Structure 1
Protein backbone atom coordinates (compact mmCIF):
# COMPACT_ATOMS: atom_id res chain seq x y z
CA UNK A 1 0.00 0.00 0.00
CA UNK A 2 1.19 3.51 -0.79
CA UNK A 3 0.17 6.68 1.01
CA UNK A 4 0.70 10.32 0.06
CA UNK A 5 1.83 12.87 2.63
CA UNK A 6 1.10 16.56 2.08
CA UNK A 7 1.86 19.63 4.14
CA UNK A 8 1.56 23.39 3.92
CA UNK A 9 -0.89 23.66 1.02
CA UNK A 10 -1.76 27.26 1.92
CA UNK A 11 -4.85 27.20 -0.32
CA UNK A 12 -2.83 26.57 -3.49
CA UNK A 13 -5.58 24.77 -5.41
CA UNK A 14 -3.73 24.42 -8.74
CA UNK A 15 -0.92 22.52 -7.00
CA UNK A 16 -3.33 20.43 -4.94
CA UNK A 17 -5.36 19.50 -8.02
CA UNK A 18 -2.24 18.46 -9.90
CA UNK A 19 -1.08 16.29 -6.99
CA UNK A 20 -4.56 14.80 -6.50
CA UNK A 21 -4.82 13.89 -10.19
CA UNK A 22 -1.44 12.16 -9.97
CA UNK A 23 -2.24 10.18 -6.82
CA UNK A 24 -5.64 9.14 -8.20
CA UNK A 25 -3.88 7.89 -11.35
CA UNK A 26 -1.41 6.02 -9.12
CA UNK A 27 -4.30 4.48 -7.14
CA UNK A 28 -3.11 5.89 -3.82
CA UNK A 29 -6.02 5.77 -1.37
CA UNK A 30 -4.74 7.60 1.73
CA UNK A 31 -3.49 11.15 2.21
CA UNK A 32 -1.98 12.36 5.46
CA UNK A 33 -1.98 16.16 5.58
CA UNK A 34 0.41 17.69 8.12
CA UNK A 35 -1.42 20.99 8.43
CA UNK A 36 -1.73 24.44 6.92
CA UNK A 37 -4.33 23.39 4.39
CA UNK A 38 -5.69 26.82 5.48
CA UNK A 39 -9.39 27.26 4.77
CA UNK A 40 -12.44 25.05 4.62
CA UNK A 41 -13.03 25.67 0.90
CA UNK A 42 -9.65 24.10 0.14
CA UNK A 43 -10.47 21.06 2.27
CA UNK A 44 -13.86 20.68 0.57
CA UNK A 45 -12.25 20.87 -2.89
CA UNK A 46 -9.64 18.35 -1.83
CA UNK A 47 -12.29 15.95 -0.47
CA UNK A 48 -14.41 16.34 -3.62
CA UNK A 49 -11.44 15.58 -5.89
CA UNK A 50 -10.04 12.54 -4.05
CA UNK A 51 -11.77 9.19 -3.72
CA UNK A 52 -9.66 7.95 -0.80
CA UNK A 53 -9.32 8.92 2.86
CA UNK A 54 -7.82 12.22 4.02
CA UNK A 55 -6.39 12.51 7.54
CA UNK A 56 -5.72 16.11 8.58
CA UNK A 57 -3.65 17.48 11.46
CA UNK A 58 -4.10 21.18 12.16
CA UNK A 59 -1.33 23.71 11.52
CA UNK A 60 -0.81 27.29 12.63
CA UNK A 61 -2.38 28.82 9.49
CA UNK A 62 -5.51 26.66 9.50
CA UNK A 63 -8.97 28.11 10.00
CA UNK A 64 -9.82 25.43 12.58
CA UNK A 65 -13.29 26.79 13.38
CA UNK A 66 -14.18 27.04 9.68
CA UNK A 67 -12.95 23.50 9.00
CA UNK A 68 -14.82 22.12 12.04
CA UNK A 69 -17.98 23.97 10.95
CA UNK A 70 -17.66 22.57 7.42
CA UNK A 71 -17.40 19.02 8.72
CA UNK A 72 -20.45 19.51 10.97
CA UNK A 73 -22.63 20.90 8.17
CA UNK A 74 -21.37 18.94 5.15
CA UNK A 75 -21.01 15.24 4.77
CA UNK A 76 -17.36 14.61 3.95
CA UNK A 77 -17.10 10.91 4.81
CA UNK A 78 -13.53 10.67 3.51
CA UNK A 79 -12.11 13.40 5.82
CA UNK A 80 -10.83 12.63 9.32
CA UNK A 81 -9.72 15.49 11.58
CA UNK A 82 -6.96 14.51 13.96
CA UNK A 83 -6.40 17.74 15.89
CA UNK A 84 -2.79 18.69 16.56
CA UNK A 85 -1.48 15.10 16.32
CA UNK A 86 -2.62 12.31 14.05
CA UNK A 87 -1.69 8.66 13.92
CA UNK A 88 -2.60 5.66 11.84
CA UNK A 89 -1.44 2.08 11.77
CA UNK A 90 -0.89 0.40 8.41
CA UNK A 91 0.49 -3.10 7.91
CA UNK A 92 1.83 -3.16 11.46
CA UNK A 93 3.60 0.21 11.05
CA UNK A 94 2.64 3.03 13.40
CA UNK A 95 2.75 6.37 11.57
CA UNK A 96 2.39 9.70 13.35
CA UNK A 97 1.93 13.12 11.81
CA UNK A 98 1.59 16.70 12.97
CA UNK A 99 2.48 20.21 11.82
CA UNK A 100 5.26 21.38 14.10
CA UNK A 101 8.82 19.96 14.02
CA UNK A 102 9.22 20.23 17.81
CA UNK A 103 6.14 18.08 18.41
CA UNK A 104 7.24 15.65 15.68
CA UNK A 105 10.63 15.27 17.38
CA UNK A 106 8.93 14.46 20.70
CA UNK A 107 6.72 11.93 18.93
CA UNK A 108 9.75 10.29 17.30
CA UNK A 109 11.62 10.19 20.62
CA UNK A 110 8.64 8.51 22.34
CA UNK A 111 9.44 5.16 20.71
CA UNK A 112 5.76 4.75 19.81
CA UNK A 113 6.11 5.33 16.06
CA UNK A 114 7.97 3.83 13.12
CA UNK A 115 7.61 7.08 11.16
CA UNK A 116 6.61 10.63 11.99
CA UNK A 117 5.78 13.24 9.36
CA UNK A 118 5.59 16.98 9.96
CA UNK A 119 5.44 20.27 8.09
CA UNK A 120 5.79 23.97 9.01
CA UNK A 121 9.31 24.64 7.70
CA UNK A 122 8.30 23.96 4.06
CA UNK A 123 11.67 22.25 3.55
CA UNK A 124 11.79 18.56 2.57
CA UNK A 125 13.84 16.75 5.16
CA UNK A 126 14.51 13.31 6.61
CA UNK A 127 16.36 12.25 9.72
CA UNK A 128 16.23 9.34 12.12
CA UNK A 129 15.72 9.24 15.88
CA UNK A 130 16.47 5.78 17.25
CA UNK A 131 14.42 3.50 14.93
CA UNK A 132 11.93 6.22 13.93
CA UNK A 133 12.16 8.04 10.60
CA UNK A 134 11.34 11.74 10.98
CA UNK A 135 10.22 13.28 7.69
CA UNK A 136 9.08 16.61 6.30
CA UNK A 137 7.48 16.13 2.85
CA UNK A 138 8.07 19.77 1.93
CA UNK A 139 5.19 22.03 0.98
CA UNK A 140 2.40 21.89 -1.56
CA UNK A 141 2.23 25.68 -1.95
CA UNK A 142 5.68 26.11 -3.49
CA UNK A 143 6.64 28.71 -0.88
CA UNK A 144 10.42 29.06 -0.28
CA UNK A 145 11.04 25.63 -1.86
CA UNK A 146 9.64 23.78 -4.86
CA UNK A 147 6.17 22.33 -4.31
CA UNK A 148 6.52 18.73 -3.14
CA UNK A 149 4.92 15.86 -1.27
CA UNK A 150 5.99 12.40 -0.14
CA UNK A 151 4.81 8.94 -1.15
CA UNK A 152 5.46 6.08 1.26
CA UNK A 153 5.18 2.42 0.25
CA UNK A 154 4.33 0.35 3.34
CA UNK A 155 5.33 -2.91 1.65
CA UNK A 156 8.83 -1.90 0.52
CA UNK A 157 9.28 0.89 3.12
CA UNK A 158 10.48 3.10 0.27
CA UNK A 159 9.89 6.81 0.66
CA UNK A 160 9.84 9.08 -2.40
CA UNK A 161 9.80 12.85 -2.64
CA UNK A 162 7.63 14.03 -5.51
CA UNK A 163 8.40 17.45 -6.99
CA UNK A 164 5.20 18.82 -8.52
CA UNK A 165 6.76 20.52 -11.54
CA UNK A 166 8.27 17.24 -12.77
CA UNK A 167 5.36 14.86 -12.04
CA UNK A 168 4.45 12.73 -15.03
Structure 2
Protein backbone atom coordinates (compact mmCIF):
# COMPACT_ATOMS: atom_id res chain seq x y z
CA UNK A 1 0.00 0.00 0.00
CA UNK A 2 1.28 3.45 -0.92
CA UNK A 3 0.47 6.31 1.48
CA UNK A 4 1.06 9.99 0.64
CA UNK A 5 2.54 12.00 3.54
CA UNK A 6 2.08 15.79 3.53
CA UNK A 7 2.57 18.62 5.99
CA UNK A 8 2.66 22.39 6.33
CA UNK A 9 0.61 23.68 3.42
CA UNK A 10 0.03 27.09 5.05
CA UNK A 11 -2.63 27.93 2.47
CA UNK A 12 -0.32 27.59 -0.53
CA UNK A 13 -3.13 26.23 -2.67
CA UNK A 14 -1.06 26.80 -5.81
CA UNK A 15 1.57 24.25 -4.71
CA UNK A 16 -1.18 21.95 -3.46
CA UNK A 17 -2.85 22.16 -6.87
CA UNK A 18 0.43 21.09 -8.54
CA UNK A 19 0.90 18.28 -6.04
CA UNK A 20 -2.55 16.66 -6.08
CA UNK A 21 -2.17 14.96 -9.51
CA UNK A 22 1.11 13.42 -8.28
CA UNK A 23 -0.73 11.80 -5.38
CA UNK A 24 -3.08 9.72 -7.54
CA UNK A 25 -0.96 6.59 -7.18
CA UNK A 26 -1.34 6.74 -3.38
CA UNK A 27 -4.21 4.79 -1.81
CA UNK A 28 -4.38 6.96 1.32
CA UNK A 29 -3.06 10.27 2.62
CA UNK A 30 -1.71 11.33 6.01
CA UNK A 31 -1.47 15.05 6.74
CA UNK A 32 0.75 16.21 9.62
CA UNK A 33 -0.78 19.62 10.30
CA UNK A 34 -0.89 23.28 9.28
CA UNK A 35 -3.58 23.54 6.64
CA UNK A 36 -4.12 27.06 8.06
CA UNK A 37 -7.45 28.06 6.48
CA UNK A 38 -10.36 25.63 6.16
CA UNK A 39 -10.54 26.10 2.37
CA UNK A 40 -7.22 24.26 2.12
CA UNK A 41 -8.71 21.15 3.74
CA UNK A 42 -11.71 21.42 1.41
CA UNK A 43 -9.40 21.54 -1.61
CA UNK A 44 -7.54 18.47 -0.36
CA UNK A 45 -10.74 16.52 0.30
CA UNK A 46 -12.09 17.36 -3.15
CA UNK A 47 -8.77 16.64 -4.89
CA UNK A 48 -7.82 13.32 -3.30
CA UNK A 49 -10.23 10.41 -3.64
CA UNK A 50 -8.81 8.04 -1.05
CA UNK A 51 -9.06 8.16 2.73
CA UNK A 52 -7.32 11.11 4.36
CA UNK A 53 -6.14 11.12 7.97
CA UNK A 54 -5.18 14.56 9.30
CA UNK A 55 -4.03 16.26 12.50
CA UNK A 56 -4.01 19.89 13.53
CA UNK A 57 -0.82 21.95 13.50
CA UNK A 58 0.09 25.06 15.46
CA UNK A 59 -1.24 27.40 12.73
CA UNK A 60 -4.67 25.83 12.23
CA UNK A 61 -6.73 28.62 13.75
CA UNK A 62 -10.34 27.74 12.96
CA UNK A 63 -10.64 24.27 14.48
CA UNK A 64 -14.44 24.50 14.43
CA UNK A 65 -14.71 25.07 10.67
CA UNK A 66 -11.92 22.58 9.89
CA UNK A 67 -13.82 19.98 11.92
CA UNK A 68 -17.06 20.76 10.12
CA UNK A 69 -15.42 20.41 6.70
CA UNK A 70 -13.88 17.09 7.78
CA UNK A 71 -17.29 15.79 8.91
CA UNK A 72 -18.88 16.82 5.60
CA UNK A 73 -16.22 15.07 3.52
CA UNK A 74 -16.68 11.32 3.10
CA UNK A 75 -12.94 10.70 2.90
CA UNK A 76 -11.53 12.81 5.79
CA UNK A 77 -10.84 11.78 9.37
CA UNK A 78 -9.53 14.61 11.53
CA UNK A 79 -7.57 13.40 14.55
CA UNK A 80 -7.24 16.43 16.87
CA UNK A 81 -3.63 16.14 18.09
CA UNK A 82 -2.26 12.75 17.13
CA UNK A 83 -3.32 9.93 14.86
CA UNK A 84 -2.71 6.22 15.29
CA UNK A 85 -3.59 3.83 12.47
CA UNK A 86 -2.92 0.40 11.13
CA UNK A 87 -2.64 0.54 7.35
CA UNK A 88 -1.17 -2.01 5.00
CA UNK A 89 -0.20 -4.16 7.97
CA UNK A 90 1.89 -1.35 9.55
CA UNK A 91 1.33 0.50 12.81
CA UNK A 92 1.58 4.22 12.09
CA UNK A 93 1.51 7.32 14.29
CA UNK A 94 1.46 10.91 13.10
CA UNK A 95 1.58 14.28 14.82
CA UNK A 96 2.60 17.82 13.94
CA UNK A 97 5.35 18.18 16.53
CA UNK A 98 8.76 16.51 16.04
CA UNK A 99 9.74 16.61 19.72
CA UNK A 100 6.78 14.32 20.44
CA UNK A 101 7.26 12.25 17.28
CA UNK A 102 10.83 11.36 18.28
CA UNK A 103 9.54 9.89 21.54
CA UNK A 104 6.82 7.97 19.71
CA UNK A 105 9.45 6.53 17.37
CA UNK A 106 11.75 5.64 20.28
CA UNK A 107 8.91 3.78 22.00
CA UNK A 108 9.16 0.98 19.44
CA UNK A 109 5.36 0.76 19.38
CA UNK A 110 5.09 1.82 15.71
CA UNK A 111 6.52 0.77 12.37
CA UNK A 112 6.47 4.41 11.19
CA UNK A 113 5.99 7.84 12.76
CA UNK A 114 5.40 10.98 10.70
CA UNK A 115 5.62 14.61 11.77
CA UNK A 116 5.81 18.12 10.36
CA UNK A 117 6.36 21.62 11.81
CA UNK A 118 10.04 22.03 10.88
CA UNK A 119 9.41 22.58 7.15
CA UNK A 120 12.48 20.39 6.56
CA UNK A 121 12.29 16.89 5.15
CA UNK A 122 14.00 14.04 6.93
CA UNK A 123 13.85 10.29 7.24
CA UNK A 124 15.73 8.27 9.82
CA UNK A 125 15.43 5.08 11.81
CA UNK A 126 15.11 5.10 15.57
CA UNK A 127 15.61 1.45 16.37
CA UNK A 128 13.30 -0.44 14.01
CA UNK A 129 10.93 2.54 13.58
CA UNK A 130 10.95 4.92 10.62
CA UNK A 131 10.59 8.58 11.63
CA UNK A 132 9.99 10.88 8.68
CA UNK A 133 9.01 14.48 7.94
CA UNK A 134 7.86 15.14 4.36
CA UNK A 135 8.97 18.78 4.42
CA UNK A 136 6.57 21.51 3.42
CA UNK A 137 4.00 21.93 0.70
CA UNK A 138 4.23 25.69 1.29
CA UNK A 139 7.69 26.07 -0.27
CA UNK A 140 8.75 29.10 1.75
CA UNK A 141 11.85 27.63 3.39
CA UNK A 142 12.73 25.03 0.78
CA UNK A 143 11.38 23.26 -2.24
CA UNK A 144 7.77 22.09 -1.90
CA UNK A 145 7.74 18.38 -1.18
CA UNK A 146 5.74 15.39 -0.03
CA UNK A 147 6.57 11.82 0.88
CA UNK A 148 5.34 8.41 -0.17
CA UNK A 149 5.41 5.57 2.34
CA UNK A 150 5.28 2.05 0.94
CA UNK A 151 3.85 -0.27 3.58
CA UNK A 152 5.02 -3.36 1.67
CA UNK A 153 8.71 -2.40 1.75
CA UNK A 154 8.67 0.05 4.68
CA UNK A 155 10.44 2.60 2.47
CA UNK A 156 9.81 6.35 2.55
CA UNK A 157 10.63 8.38 -0.57
CA UNK A 158 10.68 12.16 -0.87
CA UNK A 159 9.18 13.86 -3.92
CA UNK A 160 9.86 17.50 -4.79
CA UNK A 161 7.32 19.37 -6.94
Q: TM-score range by the shorter chain?
A: over 0.9
Indicate the residue corresponding to 1:69 in structure 2.
68
Aligned partners of 1:143 and 1:43: how far apart in 2?
A: 19
How well do the aligned residues superpose, as a CA RMSD in angstroms?
1.2
Unaligned 5+ runs, structure 2: none
Indicate the residue corresponding to 1:132 in structure 2.
129
Q: Are 2:45 and 1:47 equivalent residues in the alignment?
A: yes
3-state DSSP class of the match of 2:8? coil
Task: Report Cα offsets for 1:36-59 as digits up to 9, x if no partner.
Answer: 011111101111111111110110
Indicate the residue corresponding to 1:17 in structure 2.
17
Indicate the residue corresponding to 2:139 in structure 1.
142
Runs of 4+, deviation exceeding 6 Å:
none
Q: 1:2 to 1:61 in 2, by over 3 A?
A: same
Aligned partners of 1:105 and 1:148: how far apart in 2?
A: 21
Aligned partners of 2:70 and 2:81: how far apart in 1?
A: 17
Shift of 1:92: 2.1
TM-score calculated relative to the size of structure 2: 0.94
Shift of 1:117: 0.5
Shift of 1:33: 0.2
Shift of 1:11: 0.8
Give matches, 1:1-168, under 5 Å.
1-24=1-24, 26=25, 28-63=26-61, 64-72=63-71, 75-164=72-161
TM-score calculated relative to the size of structure 1: 0.90
Query: How many equivalent pairs are there?
Result: 160
Unaligned 5+ runs, structure 1: none
